[in-house]
Chains A and B, each alone.
Chain A
Amino acid sequence: MNAQAQTQYATEVGYNFAYLDEQTKRMIRRGLLKAVAIPGYQVPFGGREMPLPYGWGTGGMQLTAAILGAEDVLKVIDQGADDTTNAVSIRRFFARTAGVKTTTRTPEATVIQTRHRIPETPLNGDQIMVYQVPIPEPLRFIEPSETETRTMHALEDYGVMHVKLYEDIATFGHIATSYAYPVTVDARYVMDPSPIPKFDNPKLHMSPALMLFGAGREKRLYAVPPFTRVVSLDFEDHPFEIQRWDECCAFCGSQDSYLDELIVDDAGTKRFVCSDTDYCMQRRDLEEEGAQ
């Protein structure tokens, strides 16, 4: 009934609402319920073929398809930007197969699919973040066996996680892991927060928005429910730190957002700009309004 009501919004005929069939979406939703019930636990799901290759966001797209309703407003970001190839094509994909409204403005969106970044604009309780995850298993780098990593999760046997951080300090003098920085969710499961920079890790902690993570190739999904404790792993004498820049954004002058480094000429001149394009635009619009 609901699906029928929704199909009339679809601009592309011949596809079910949001591409996936209803049974698949129900299967994914069941997985999501389990994931929300056990924060940070990786739930297997029967991943489907999507019309784009693995590594381009198939996991995130299946989750988005499963939770999308006709009234939702979708935002898709890739590397923080709304105008990169991946972000544009996934946004258009859902506009055509689901007929949902899309936006680039963070406060207007109800579902935000992302790789790499959490928007700088604080999220609210009506929003859902969907992450595209390449390798969901944080223990994989040290333990190649899946049965063994599952046992380690079950027994909370997480000593090896610190081995990697130890290696970083021994090699570089500080914890050099800068993205996919492991976190403990709700004092129980160690989770890979997907390839977001560690700059964004504190935004996961006690976030009012629901966070869903989908890995298409590995066919795993996991979640951080709203207002859940998320703590980044560290050592007592080498505490967790986020990246800092001496520069500010060349466009909007922001000093507290995540900056991308751009080389602008052959002489190697560097400029820094906000990686979150929407945040940068909002700040510039505000400045213009102030000037008028």
Chain B
Amino acid sequence: MSAAEKLHLHSETAQPLFSVRDLTHLYGPEKGCQGVSFDLYPGEVLGIVGESGSGKSTLLSLLSGRCPPDRGSVSYRDSEGNWLDLYSASEAQRRTLLRTEWGFVEQNPRDGLRMGVSAGANIGERLMAQGVRHYGELRAAGIDWLQQVEIDPLRIDDLPRTFSGGMQQRLQIARNLVSSPRLIFMDEPTGGLDVSVQARLLDLLRGLVRELDLAVVIVTHDLAVARLLADRLMVMRRSHVVEAGLTDQILDDPQHPYSQLLVSSVLQP
């Protein structure tokens, strides 16, 4: 690799992928989220932790373009290197982004999947939306992704409702990853799954995130999930980010009283 190439590679990872400034959306005093700013770099996993009602999910829907903020900006650098301001872009641009370069994994797989059509159609939908009109290719992509998320490829024509909860969640992940996105939002992806299924899903997620070099914003109330997946953490409380930093740093040496409370409240086995 020449020096110039190295430099280029360096500048590629040195530039943030996603940039958020002073993002605010309040439903009432201290309800919602306010004054959130951060940069997310390619391949980085950002965890957002906090108690129920602290504004985690509001923040996630603001970030993913689902709800216009009262104040602040969200910008994204697309694969061509152009910065796009999410909320001044047209609805069509936002939708295209959401089904190509972004993904959203819902807490409840029923919200993220089409329950009335087969697993293969669920995986192929994004590709069809992007204009793939070759049945054989769609089929091959379906089988490939079922294998990647450890679902038996023979079940490609089964309806998602015949799948177990963990399988549905993995199917949802496959459906999002098929368009090779660069940024994935996850809202409590392991919520509602039992511990052993959670462990397998986390293992799979960690593998995929590293393999595909995905940037991820993951909302969770489970510190174990955060420790396993996230590079960086933001701790939220009453609509404010009270502490942000490297995951190990926050979990091993929390500074803010609330973070200390949160970390100490985890049961030690």
Which chain A residues have a beta carbon within 8 Å of chain B's beta carbons?
142, 151, 155, 157, 159-160, 162-164, 166-167, 169-171, 234-238
Contacts and interface: CB of A to CB of B under 8 A. Distances in A.
A157 B129 contact: yes
B134 A237 contact: yes
A234 B134 CA distance: 9
B95 interface: yes
Given A155-B91, A157-B129, A170-B156, 5 more contacts: A142-B117, A159-B126, A159-B129, A160-B125, A163-B121
Contact of B133 (A155, A162, A169, A171): A162
Contact of B128 (A166, A236, A237): A166
B152 to A, nearest CB: 16
B114 interface: yes
**Secondary structure of the A contact surface, majority rule:** helix
Given A163-B124, A167-B117, A157 B133 contact: no
A148 to B, nearest CB: 11
Nearest to A165: B135
A163 B129 CA distance: 9
Contacts of B117: 142, 163-164, 166-167
Interface string B18-49: 00000000000000000000000000000000
B157 interface: yes
B57 interface: no
Contacts of A162: 128, 133
Contacts of A234: 133
**Secondary structure of the B contact surface, majority rule:** helix
A151 B92 CA distance: 9
A237 B135 CA distance: 6
Interface of B: 91-92, 95, 99, 114, 116-118, 120-121, 124-126, 128-131, 133-136, 138-139, 156-157
A160 B124 contact: no
Contacts of A163: 114, 117, 121, 124-125, 128
A155 B133 CA distance: 19
Contacts of B133: 162, 234-236
A159 B100 CA distance: 12
Contact of B125 (A159, A171, A235): A159
Contacts of B121: 163, 166-167, 170
Closest 10 CB pairs of A and B: A159-B129, A162-B128, A235-B135, A159-B128, A236-B134, A155-B92, A166-B121, A163-B121, A236-B133, A170-B157
A162 to B, nearest CB: 4
A140 to B, nearest CB: 12
Contacts of B156: 170
A143 B95 CA distance: 16
A238 B134 CA distance: 8
23 contacts: A155-B91, A157-B129, A159-B126, A159-B128, A159-B131, A160-B128, A162-B128, A162-B133, A163-B114, A163-B124, A166-B121, A166-B138, A167-B118, A167-B121, A169-B135, A170-B120, A170-B156, A170-B157, A171-B118, A235-B134, A236-B135, A237-B135, A237-B136
